[in-house]
Amino acid sequence: MKLEGGKISSSHLTFLMIGFMIGSSLIFIPGQTAGHDAWLAILAGLAEGLVFAVIYTTLAMRFAGKTLVQFNDIVYGPYLGKAISIAYLWYFFHLASLVLRSFGDFFTAIIFPETPMIVFIVLTALICATAVRNGLEVITRCGLILVVTMSLAVLTTTILLFKDMKLTNFLPVFDIPLKDFIKASHSAATFPFGETVAFLMVICFLENVKFAKSSAIKALIITGLLLVMASVRSIGVLGVTAPIHTYPSFQAVRLINIGNILTRLEIIVVGNLLAMGFLKISVLYYGTVLGTAQLLKLRSYLPLVLPIGAMLVSFSILQFDSVIENIFFTFEIYPYYVIPFQIGLPLLSLIIAIVRGLPKD
């Protein structure tokens, strides 16, 4: 029984992971609560995230060829394992709906104020559904193209803003209490680095699982640098005004003005968001669908794509009434809500696997 016939190479995995992590974090820059030290918070968060990534890839390499849902059964036994898998599927599903919702909020708030949010959410979900139906290889190939374009766009907009950046905005370095800094850096670790736990559904399709660890680490470091660049861009340009903005990156790029000719480039940020968000939602959506199929021992995951997509759409609209609820959840609850999924359970699984010498061949 094979649900997914595709194989991905390690470099494809790196690109997909970058796209996944950049996802919506390019507009909601992580570590924002650290003020002008946000870039330091991202670096600290990256360090924490690397620990997560090592745990995930060690697990994936130990249970080569098995997804999270499959090895949960081995580690925790058929009943508890299934319960944990269901919890994880919920998390992937919820995260995908959160990203979809951020999409909808962004577009209705900034670009098309009079269009109902459901239009964007349904269209995005349809595109992602097509990608998921076509399987993992299609998603990874999209990742390759989109991530390269996105990185170039981030680089270009940063260069174009060089003249508007004030280095003094970064001084004095480390100007916040340690407690707040740790809170900010932990929030950066959970969003986006720790979210790579979803790749436990994907890594098993790697051609050569030996390279899992190195490609994940590469992906995390590149993402960290891109996010630092984006956060330096926002802080350097916006300074003390950065924290009052709903979407600082977008606001920063709006200020690009090269000789009154090169202006109004903010649509680049929107394009990035669209492309990266597509990758993130697709991976999570794929993980949910594949995991559900494995859990229910189906022969194919295709019949699940549209029903789960419909649930995604409705859940993403129903879960918050306003953007304020979304922001509150993202910054105040999310960092704690994800602890069991991102670190607790994976670490426990790894310890159990090592102690019991799993998997037994």
Partner 1 sequence: MPKRRKILFKLIIFIIFILSIAGCWNRRELDTLAIVFGVGIDKAKKPGNIEITAQVIKPGEMKSPQGGSGGGGEKPYWNLTSSGKTIFSAVREFTHKSNRKLYFPHNEIIIFSEDIAKEGIRKYMDFFIRDPEIRRLVWVLVAKGNASEVLETKAILEKVPARNIAQLIEARAATSQASAVRLQEFLTRLMSKTTAPIASVIEITREKKEKIARLIGTAVFKDDKLVGYLNKSETRGLLWVIGEVKSGIIVVKSPGGNGEVSLEIIHASSKIIPEIKDNNIHIRVEITEEGNLGEQTSAEDLTSLPAWTVLERRQSEAIHNEVRRALKKAQELNTDIFAFGEAVHRKYPELWKDIENRWDEYFPNIEVTINVNAKLRRSGMTTKPPKPE
| Residues lying near partner 1 in the complex (CB under 8 A) | 109-110, 112-116, 119, 123, 126, 130, 168, 171-172, 175, 238-241, 244, 251, 254-255, 257, 263-264
Which of residues 78 and 177 has its CB atom nearest to partner 1 in the complex? Answer: 177
Radius of gyration in angstroms for the set of CA atoms belonging to the chain, rounded to a whole number = 20
- In the complex, minimum distance from the CB of residue 279 to partner 1, in angstroms, rounded to a whole number: 19
Q: How far is the CB of 24 from partner 1 (least distance, A)?
A: 18
Of residues 77 and 116, the one with the C-beta less far from partner 1 = 116
What DSSP character marks residue 37?
G
For the range 162-170, what are the long-range contacts, defined as Cβ-Cβ under 8 Å and sequence gap of 24 or more? 164/236, 164/237, 164/255, 164/256, 164/257, 165/232, 165/233, 165/236, 165/237, 166/236, 166/237, 166/239, 167/236, 169/36, 169/235, 169/236, 169/238, 169/239, 169/240, 170/36, 170/39, 170/232, 170/235, 170/236
Tokens linked to 277? 């968000």
Nearest-approach distance from CB 102 to partner 1, in angstroms? 16
Q: In the bound complex, what is the minimum distance in angstroms from residue 48's beta carbon to partner 1?
A: 26
CB-wise, 116 or 307, nearer to partner 1? 116
In this structure, is the dihedral angle defined by the CA atoms of residues 15, 17, 23 and 27, taken in order, positive or negative?
negative
CB of 349 to partner 1, least distance (A): 40
Q: Which is nearer to partner 1, 112 or 328 (CB)?
A: 112
List strand residue ranges (DSSP E) for the chain, in order: 257-258, 262-263
Q: Take residue 108 and report the two structure tokens written for it.
A: 């209705």
Cβ neighbours of 321 (radius 10 Å): 8
Least distance in angstroms from the C-beta of 175 to partner 1: 6
Q: Are 197 and 59 within 8 A, CB to CB? A: no
Of 35 and 340, the one with the shorter C-beta distance to partner 1 is 35
Of 255 and 298, which CB lies nearer to partner 1 in the complex structure?
Answer: 255
Q: Give 246 or 319: the residue with its C-beta nearer to partner 1.
A: 246
Sign of the CA dihedral with 346 first, then 347, 350, and 352 last? negative
